[in-house]
Structure 1
Amino acid sequence: MAATTHTVSNQAPPLVGYEAYLGDRALTEGVERHLADADAGLRDEVREELTSLGRAAGSAQAQEWGRQANENPPVLRTHDRYGNRIDEVEFHPAWHRLLGHAVTSGLTDAWGRPAGHLRRAAGFFLWSQAESGHGCPVSMTHAAVPALRADPELAAEWEPRLTSHVYEEGLRPAAQKGGVLFGMAMTEKQGGSDVRANTTAAVPLDASGEYLLTGHKWFCSAPMSDGFLVLAQAPGGLSCFLVPRVLPDGTRNAFAIQRLKDKLGNKSNASGEIEFDGTWARLVGEEGRGVRTIIEMVAATRLDCVIGSAALMRQALTQAVHHAEHRSAFGAPLIAQPLMRNVLADLALESEAATVLTLRLAAAYDAGTDRERAFLRLAVPTAKYWVTKRCTPMVAEALECLGGNGYVEESVLPRLLRESPVNSIWEGSGNVQALDVLRALQREPQALNAFLQEVGLARGADHRLDAAIKDLLTELADLDGIQARARRVVERMALVLQGSLLVRWAPPEVADAFCASRLGGDRGSAFGTLPHTLDLGSVVARARITG
């Protein structure tokens, strides 16, 4: 019976063993562009590093690890067999394989390396396409570095551990490990994003910067980590603290994980509710300046939200294009059908715009000039707002490209869809990002100047972009009801920025299609409604994975 009724035909072959870096034109061109002024040795080093990571990300092994890690989510072990409190999170071995590969590939090491942020952003983009959940502790560990630099003594002790390329699982004193992971615990039940409402108390032990914390945290990212940055109310106001899981003498710090969150997606990763009860901590920075201290970590993790969403978008696009290349309907391959080609081209535009913007932000971190820092002040929350917002509808449309095949777990698309909203919520939802942009516009004029200088570099190259910049300036000049219009303003800022980057750097057919549909208004509300007169075939061909 199998020979006559179960012959498989007209199905796409498994997408494995592909070149996630070399096959991605937008990514490779972007990396090369931002490395154009670097010496040849550095360019070769980064190229080799990313090629190797991209090959691993496209391998059957990495995809299997991703499947296993998500089908076997973490388990909380609060007590050992004798009743002792241990508060450990148990992960499937596949999780450790994914996380270990990320750490050994340098994805927690950007600060101070040549082109560190660019190469790390590109690497994070690639490896997140294999599996997204383990990116949380990778991101937290990377982002803890600038916050800890508020205390040079703490930074000298912890930074080498955080940036290490050694992954060691298990809880032991940090000094005994070759590398450590960090998490974060800011929000509480009663406050959420309003961290000023936090009630966790920090009582100083002496003048040396040691405190005892008492209170709860409603969301703790990566609770299995070796250390955490925490906000708590000290006598001088809301302050930032470093909380190690294991004290130098080997005893466990008071750190009770009450439960793990049962989340929509991000299943492989642990997020938990924790309680402090006389928990030992070290002050980071000054009392009363906790938000200012930890905001350096938040800014870095917000960039990772952009990278993570761009990675999900690219993986969803890759799956959709691969399916359309190998599946036929009504007498022709799907990719040759005009309407499907329109949908795929629209998805490709969204993905390339996100990728180009991501790399531009990473390069700005590497430059480190006053102008680039001012640019990042507006560009990061703007990008975080828009790219993470566009991720979910794009992944949903890519899933639909596979039809019923996309709706089953084996296709990977359901996992991507469940994952897609997390970055729009994590590190501040859309409203928080929009309000942060308004705050920068009102208080930091140099940030707006840097932003406008950036988008102005493409003036005169496309009349639709010029008109959009003019409209944006009109919006920014009118402060009446600005908070209620904040999302509209930030969306226009993001689109103008993406349009400027694509006009300057993307092939003409990509820039033309983006400006026509995103800035010129010649597009419907759904994906796949691009003007038929555009060169959609070239846009789709550019999005194909090669190699």
Structure 2
Amino acid sequence: MSIVNQFHTHEVQNQPYALANYNAWETDIALKEAVAREGASWAENHLSEFGALTGGELITSGFLANENKPKLRNFDSYGRRIDEVEFHPAYHDLMRAGMKYGMSNFAWRNEERSSAHVARAAVMYLGSQPEAGFGCPMSMSYAAIAALRHAPTLADKWLPKLLSSDYDPRSLPMEEKLGCTMGMGMTEKQGGSDLRRNTTKATLQEDGSYKIIGHKWFFSAPMCDAHLVLAQSENGLSCFLVPRFCPDGTRNAIQVQRLKDKLGDWSNASSEVEFQEAFGELVGIEGRGIPTIIEMVALTRLDCMIGSSAQMRQAIVQAIHHTSQREAFGKLLIDQPIMRNVLADLALESEAAIALTMRIARAVDSIDHDPHEAALARIATAIGKYWICKRTPVLVNEAQECLGGNGYVEETIMPRLYRQAPLNSIWEGSGNVQCLDVLRALKKEPETRDALFTELQKAAGKNSDYDAELKRLTGRFEDTQTLEFRSRYVIERLALMLQASILLLTDNTEIATIFCRSRLANEHGLAFGTLSPDAPVDLLIERAAGATQAVL
């Protein structure tokens, strides 16, 4: 026996091939239906082109960007302060694709089209699947445009750069760049979500600019060309645009203290910074910083929903792809009855998440001209952000289990999805903050409650379980003394009803029925994989399995 044969111990058998080179748009039935339902079919060619990229080469870029974390370079080789972050080329590839296809600005570039924010939500959803980390600067750049419009002079200067499709990573003044990105700096050590405890100071100068002194505990994407920052001015908490370079071309006095060592989101740089009389320009009215920046926060909260829905989608795609190739006990895993229950349940959750996300994106589209949609967007964004972001970690974990031990090793995307999954429930306000925001809206803006129940009433009479829960909902608000204590449960039920109402108004009757039975009538356990035997399991798996079928 030769030495080669002597040590030839095994062949690789019964192991799946990695999912690659699929079109994330063309293989996603639920997404395509949602985009059409919410009025953005005009973007299909654009989405198909981007879907081929996100299901192809950007998958590799995502792995490389996470394996090579960003590095902070405070000084150059001769000791000059530069405060720059060095990224792997793969991160720049992701950013370049995001800018080109409009993750940061597609809605604003197509404002004359109907449902432009729905189309952009689909772009963001596709781009977030191969890697979520670069979504942070994409999201903040998108959302900043709404806030900047409160300062027409600044908007005239910055918007052409923010609307550019060219990614330009060079450290240069804005005027010299092909395109720009923008971040946000709100959080401080002593306050967190309690922004009124911010201590950063802004002092008015003779030329109308401000000098800003203070710190930020979370300053995401420090390599953005500017950040919107909250600071205390003479008349209270105000919003300022703080660029990386001053008007005279010198570096602004923003010192990056360190990069955060995070659980996940490894490809993105999150930092702590100090402002040492940094140059800033007022956005909006002094003392009205929170109302000014809240329009930005509303859009980044929508992006939390989009990002979490995208993680759900990628997790279920990976689970179905794996189980379609792996055998156990004489048959493919996907053909095992208990596994089919799990996969169908995960697919059901994913479908409901993208349905609600796209419906809220359509409400955002209509804020300026439809009072009902504006009020719905105001309250449903917080409801959806709370629920979808809460559901993502447990869904990703269940999908990870479908891969067995393979789902726990870094050669697959599952550990990265698992690390990333909790982020959106924390970013832009934790679950408790979302609940309080809903209660605040219901109390101070009664039109939001009217809009919510008007929306829910559209599906009345289509399902008995839905109708029963709709009757119970009004009573859940009657005991105002305990409402805050009960708010998580109440808002969970509101989220489920919103999802159910959307599904009931589609042609997918079987899916809507099992959603109502399992989520509203509680014919479901506390874990995924506990659907009733008459659930449309084959239909759910078939709809979710498009990506797997495309590459097998």
The equivalent position to 2:74 in structure 1, one of 71, 78, 85, is 78
Match of 1:543 in 2: 544
Whether the 8 Å contact between 1:306 and 1:358 is mirrored in structure 2 is yes
Whether the 8 Å contact between 1:313 and 1:395 is mirrored in structure 2 is yes
The equivalent position to 2:12 in structure 1, one of 8, 12, 25, is 8
Whether the 8 Å contact between 1:324 and 1:334 is mirrored in structure 2 is yes
| Per-residue deviation, 1:17 | 1.0
**What is the CA–CA distance in structure 2 between the aligned matches of 1:277 and 1:234, rounded to whole Å?**
16
Match of 1:135 in 2: 135
Q: Match of 1:239, SS? A: strand
| Per-residue deviation, 1:477 | 2.5
Amino acid at match of 2:279: W
Match of 1:240 in 2: 239
Which 4+ runs in 1 deviate beyond 6 A? none
Match of 1:495 in 2: 496
The equivalent position to 2:100 in structure 1, one of 92, 100, 104, is 104
**What is the CA–CA distance in structure 2 between the aligned matches of 1:49 and 1:228, rounded to whole Å?**
29
Q: Match of 1:242, SS? A: strand
Match of 1:58 in 2: 55
Matched, 1:447 2:448: yes
| Per-residue deviation, 1:4 | 5.0
**What is the CA–CA distance in structure 1 between the aligned matches of 2:259 and 2:34, rounded to whole Å?**
39
When residues 4 and 84 of structure 1 are mapped into structure 2, their CA distance, relative to the original with a 3 A threshold, is closer
Matching of residues 158-177 of structure 1 within 5 Å: 158-177=158-177
- CA RMSD in angstroms comes to 1.2
Match of 1:25 in 2: 29
Matching of residues 293-442 of structure 1 within 5 Å: 293-368=292-367, 369-442=370-443
Whether the 8 Å contact between 2:103 and 2:127 is mirrored in structure 1 is no
- Greater Cα shift, 218-227 or 479-488: 479-488
Whether the 8 Å contact between 1:188 and 1:219 is mirrored in structure 2 is yes
- TM-score, scaled to structure 1: 0.97
Q: Match of 1:360, SS? A: helix
| Per-residue deviation, 1:338 | 0.7
| Per-residue deviation, 1:113 | 4.8
Amino acid at match of 2:116: G
**What is the CA–CA distance in structure 1 between the aligned matches of 2:507 and 2:403, rounded to whole Å?**
28
- TM-score, scaled to structure 2: 0.96
Q: Match of 2:79, SS? A: coil
**What is the CA–CA distance in structure 2 between the aligned matches of 1:229 and 1:209, rounded to whole Å?**
17
What is the CA deviation profile of residues 425-470 of structure 1, one whole-angstrom value per residue up to 9, with x for unaligned ones? 0000000000000000101111111111111111000111111111
Matched, 1:262 2:266: no
What is the CA deviation profile of residues 182-239 of structure 1, one whole-angstrom value per residue up to 9, with x for unaligned ones? 1111011111110100000111003x54100000100001111100000000000000
Q: Match of 1:431, SS? A: helix
Match of 1:202 in 2: 202
**What is the CA–CA distance in structure 2 between the aligned matches of 1:199 and 1:296, rounded to whole Å?**
22
**What is the CA–CA distance in structure 2 between the aligned matches of 1:154 and 1:469, rounded to whole Å?**
47
| Per-residue deviation, 1:506 | 5.4
Whether the 8 Å contact between 1:258 and 1:274 is mirrored in structure 2 is yes
What is the CA deviation profile of residues 289-345 of structure 1, one whole-angstrom value per residue up to 9, with x for unaligned ones? 000000011000000000000000000000001111111111111111110000001
Q: Match of 2:93, SS? A: helix
- Greater Cα shift, 346-355 or 360-369: 360-369
When residues 286 and 513 of structure 1 are mapped into structure 2, their CA distance, relative to the original with a 3 A threshold, is same
Match of 2:179 in 1: 179
Aligned length: 538
**What is the CA–CA distance in structure 1 between the aligned matches of 2:180 and 2:427, rounded to whole Å?**
22
Amino acid at match of 1:84: R
**What is the CA–CA distance in structure 2 between the aligned matches of 1:464 and 1:506, rounded to whole Å?**
18
**What is the CA–CA distance in structure 2 between the aligned matches of 1:367 and 1:216, rounded to whole Å?**
37
Whether the 8 Å contact between 1:385 and 1:433 is mirrored in structure 2 is yes
Q: Match of 1:199, SS? A: coil
Match of 1:117 in 2: 117
| Per-residue deviation, 1:475 | 0.4
Whether the 8 Å contact between 1:19 and 1:545 is mirrored in structure 2 is no
- Greater Cα shift, 184-193 or 367-376: 367-376
Matching of residues 207-286 of structure 1 within 5 Å: 209-286=208-285
Match of 1:154 in 2: 154
The percent of aligned pairs where both chains have the same amino acid is: 52
| Per-residue deviation, 1:250 | 1.4
Amino acid at match of 2:531: L
Matched, 1:189 2:189: yes
Matched, 1:69 2:53: no
**What is the CA–CA distance in structure 1 between the aligned matches of 2:16 and 2:480, rounded to whole Å?**
53
